[in-house]
């Protein structure tokens, strides 16, 4: 398996468990969806909202390095979340702010990619093992989108047609985990830098251990 993909999946598992306060429930590795709780209370699929050209470059690096698990791009994104400065700049007076300003066209690419991944995975949901609740974790490749941008994603989730949808869509943007549910107010959960750094290290260990 692509080592960076496995790394993101285990990071998502740890992040969702902690941010959503799942204890005593724990996710176990599966396929379609990527994680299940023990009695199928919750199933969670994980996806990256990666820009295709950048993802291809990372895949080329992975092939070049073999099983040494470079995963440089995605790891650097997560490690940036663990910096104290990132936490300090993440929010003020309850307002979530981007860590840096993206050019408008690049921002649109990232927002569009998040929406696209939600749409693609919702279509594929009928092929997955369905649980009492079905979650989607979307790993954003940038910290440059903010709450207003995520409200556009929430509007897309609210407008989705069809009978089968994810009960929760979790979108990681920097230190924030946005929680999107159809017809409900957009919320977010923020964890401290120390917690995120520990999750990074544990995800790296788990993905190295189970990469076959």
Residue 62 reports pLDDT greater than 80: no
Percentage of the chain lying above the pLDDT 90 cut? 56
Spatial distance between the Cα atoms of 49 and 53, rounded to a whole number of angstroms: 12
Average pLDDT over residues 47-60: 63
CB contact at 8 A, 93 and 104: no
Confidence of residue 106 (pLDDT cuts 50, 70, 90): confident
Residue 60 reports pLDDT greater than 60: no
pLDDT recorded at residue 80: 60
pLDDT tens track for 113-166? 999 999 999 999 999 999 999 999 999 988 889 999 999 999 999 999 988 999
Confidence of residue 5 (pLDDT cuts 50, 70, 90): confident
Q: Before 206, cis peptide (omega within 30)?
A: no
Spatial distance between the Cα atoms of 193 and 200, rounded to a whole number of angstroms: 10
Non-local CB neighbours of 41 within 8 Å, separated by 6+ positions: 25, 131, 132, 133
Is the model more confident about 191 or about 67? 191
CA atoms within 13 A on the CB side of 57: 7
Spatial distance between the Cα atoms of 193 and 207, rounded to a whole number of angstroms: 21
Is the model more confident about 196 or about 182? 182
Number of domains, the chain: 1
Indicate the range of 11-20, 74-83, 84-93 predicted with least confidence: 84-93
Spatial distance between the Cα atoms of 114 and 61, rounded to a whole number of angstroms: 24
Structural domain containing residue 193? 3-210
Q: What is the DSSP letter of 162?
A: S
Average pLDDT over residues 66-95: 50
CB contact at 8 A, 1 and 211: yes
pLDDT recorded at residue 84: 45
The bridge status of strand 133-140 relative to strand 42-49 is: parallel
């Amino acid at each position: 398996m692509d080592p960076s993909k496995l790394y993101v999946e285990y990071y998502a598992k740890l992040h969702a468990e902690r941010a959503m306060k799942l204890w005593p429930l724990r996710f176990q590795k599966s396929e379609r969806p990527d994680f299940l709780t023990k009695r199928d209370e919750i199933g969670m699929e994980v996806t990256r909202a990666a820009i295709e050209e950048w993802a291809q470059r990372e895949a080329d690096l992975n092939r070049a390095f073999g099983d040494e698990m470079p995963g440089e791009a995605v790891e650097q994104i997560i490690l940036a979340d663990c910096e104290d400065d990132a936490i300090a700049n993440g929010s003020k007076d309850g307002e979530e702010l981007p860590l840096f300003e993206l050019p408008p066209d690049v921002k649109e690419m990232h927002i569009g990619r998040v929406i696209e991944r939600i749409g693609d995975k919702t279509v594929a949901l009928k092929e997955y093992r369905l649980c009492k609740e079905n979650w989607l974790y979307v790993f954003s490749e940038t910290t440059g989108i903010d709450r207003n941008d995520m409200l556009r994603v929430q509007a897309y989730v609210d407008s989705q047609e069809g009978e089968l949808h994810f009960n929760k869509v979790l979108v990681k943007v920097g230190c924030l985990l946005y929680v999107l549910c159809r017809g409900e107010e957009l919320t977010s959960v923020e964890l401290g830098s120390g917690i995120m750094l520990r999750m990074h290290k544990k995800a790296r260990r788990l993905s190295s251990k189970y990469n076959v």
